[in-house]
Amino acid sequence: MFDFVSNKVHDEARQGEALLPAETDINLYKKKFYIESYGCQMNFSDSEIVASILNEKGFGATRNYEEADLVFLNTCSIREKAEQTVRSRLHIFRQQKRIRPGMLIGVLGCMAERLKEKFLEEEKLVDMVVGPDAYRTLPLLIEEAEGGQKAVNVLLSREETYADISPVRIDSNGVTAFVSIMRGCNNMCSFCVVPFTRGRERSRDAYSIIKECEGLFENGFKEVTLLGQNVDSYYWNDEQKDETVTFAMLLEKVALINPLLRVRFSTSHPKDISEEVLQTMKKYHNICKYIHLPVQSGSTRILQLMNRTYTREWYMAKINRIREVMPECGISSDIIAGFCTETEEDHQDTLSLMEFSKYDLSYMFFYSERPGTLAARRYKDDVDEETKRRRLAEIVKLQNQISKTSNENDIGKIFEVLIEGDSKRSEEDWRGRSTQNKVVVFSKSGFDFKKGDYAMVKIESCTGGTLIGKAVGE
Ligand code: SAM
Ligand code: SF4
């Protein structure tokens, strides 16, 4: 199976990335851990929580698994391909364990629950299996595993938000950071395994989120992305103060920390993004004008089978409303090709909806049946591989055209760009992003900018995935 992300490399480029030890970390650790992350941004964010818990207990990070005492894989179950990758990595770590039998291997995250018996008992691939809500018990589980026991905790919680744990941002550009605001998901999209692997939705204490964002800003960060599977259903109730915080209210509170701190969020379910959220975005310059609004399919019939709870027309009206409130807003999407019973006509509906929505970017996937999901239980995965492949290729081709046109339309415009670091191609150029989340590259000459500064950049040319410009002001 192949997954595509058009024109921009985003999460896909980070698959399997290992956390880097902090250069400034002067602590002497008794043991070293290595952690490799897969899947969505939530998982990468969770690895930073795990790192914090392990640091507390005297373990330091390494990027070389050959010197690690503990090797963790933070896993994803969203598509079959992600599971296969993890399995092959585990076999490589197993070989290393033959050379160093004292090394412990652990599986964290979404694969934990479903594959615990297989990994621990049947295939004897790992020493520890730890689910996404059980990271606080890691120190105990490590002790058990060191004592030769099989260490497992895959219990899902209705409360755990790790609110009090400060993630260690040991692999960061120092400018942008992800902040988890909720966990789990209560939606039951029929294709999706997340509600089963990450449990019920719960929102994190609003004040712990604000404190974390304030701390990041004090430490030089200039952008936070508020993370959740469905951020618009964020709802936090402080019984003592008789206060309720909705997502729009949270956005405002974070935006008010400092006008120089940009705020982004992901992901929005189209059914939940409210007028209040749109108006709050419009009101604050530092709330980025960018919405990731996954449509999944352009066919109302397929959307119903997917249990997305909106129709094609309803989604189109939402896009129109976003463009009415914020004409300059960037919009991106997730699209699944070849869901159960999808006909050629349904597929054409997806293509035409993409043309209507004019997404700047899309993450595009084959449908991959996941055991235990509603779709796996109710429907037949009846679109053959070749058809899925062809339809996905058509979707990718169209998205590339739309993205290119969107970038061409930006030529001549001036954008405020937050500088994230050197361009990947040349140290003579800066690389940053516009409020619409587009990557902008421009020459360092003429201005004395540094990483974390805002620059006004006039766009002169583009590629499919990058705007290329020239600084015209601070
Ligand atoms: N909560 C977010 C949402 O509702 O859009 C993201 C969930 S998931 C981590 C990211 C994307 O993976 C989904 O939007 C969907 O397009 C894709 N996905 C989920 N399950 C899939 C499956 N079984 N086969 C193919 N793609 C899938
Ligand atoms: Fe999965 Fe749907 Fe929840 Fe997103 S909203 S995590 S696609 S169930």
pLDDT tens digits along 231-273: 999 999 988 888 999 999 999 999 999 999 999 999 999 999 9
Query: Who has greater pLDDT, 192 or 81?
Result: 192
pLDDT given for residue 3 in this prediction:
44
Query: Which residue has 């008794």 as its token pair?
Result: 30
Local structure of 181: helix, strand or coil: coil
Residue 203 in this model has a pLDDT that exceeds 70: yes
Instruction: Write the DSSP symbol of residue 231.
Output: G
| pLDDT given at position 19 | 65
What mean pLDDT comes out for the span 73-85? 88
DSSP reduced 3-state for 437: coil
Shortest CA distance to 163 belongs to which of 215, 204, 199? 204
Region of residue 412 (phi > 0: left; psi between -120 and 50: alpha; otherwise: beta): left
In this prediction, residue 375 has a pLDDT band, given cuts at 50, 70 and 90, of very high
Question: Per-residue pLDDT for 51 more than 70?
Answer: yes
Give, using CA atoms, the residue closest to atom 20 of ligand 1. 192
Instruction: Give the span between the Cα atoms of 247 and 289, in whole angstroms.
Output: 16
pLDDT, one tens digit per residue, over 84-126 is 888 889 999 999 999 999 999 999 999 998 888 888 887 888 9
Please indicate whether residue 438 or residue 123 has the higher confidence score (pLDDT). 438
CA–CA gap between residue 312 and residue 301 (Å, rounded): 9
Q: What is the pLDDT of residue 7?
A: 34
What pLDDT, on the 0 to 100 scale, is given for residue 14?
Answer: 67
Contact 173/219 with Cβ under 8 angstroms? Answer: no
Mutate to test the pocket of ligand 2, among 43, 188, 230, 368 (most ligand atoms within 8 A of CB): 230
Q: Which helix (H) or strand (E) element contains residue 164?
A: none
Collapsed DSSP state (helix, strand, coil) of residue 48: helix
Residue 461: predicted pLDDT:
97
| Residue from 110, 105, 188 nearest 154 by CA | 110
Top mutation candidate among 365, 370, 392, 395 for ligand 1, by most atoms within 8 Å of CB: 365
Predicted confidence at residue 79, as pLDDT, reads: 87
Cβ of residue 367 lying under 6 Å from some atom of ligand 1: yes
- Mean pLDDT of all residues belonging to the chain: 92
Overall pTM > 0.85? yes
Q: Residue with the nearest Cα to atom 2 of ligand 2? A: 189
Flag whether pLDDT at 12 surpasses 80: no
Gap from CA of 250 to ligand 2 centroid (Å): 21
Per-residue pLDDT reduced to its tens digit, 317-342: 999 999 999 999 999 999 999 999 99
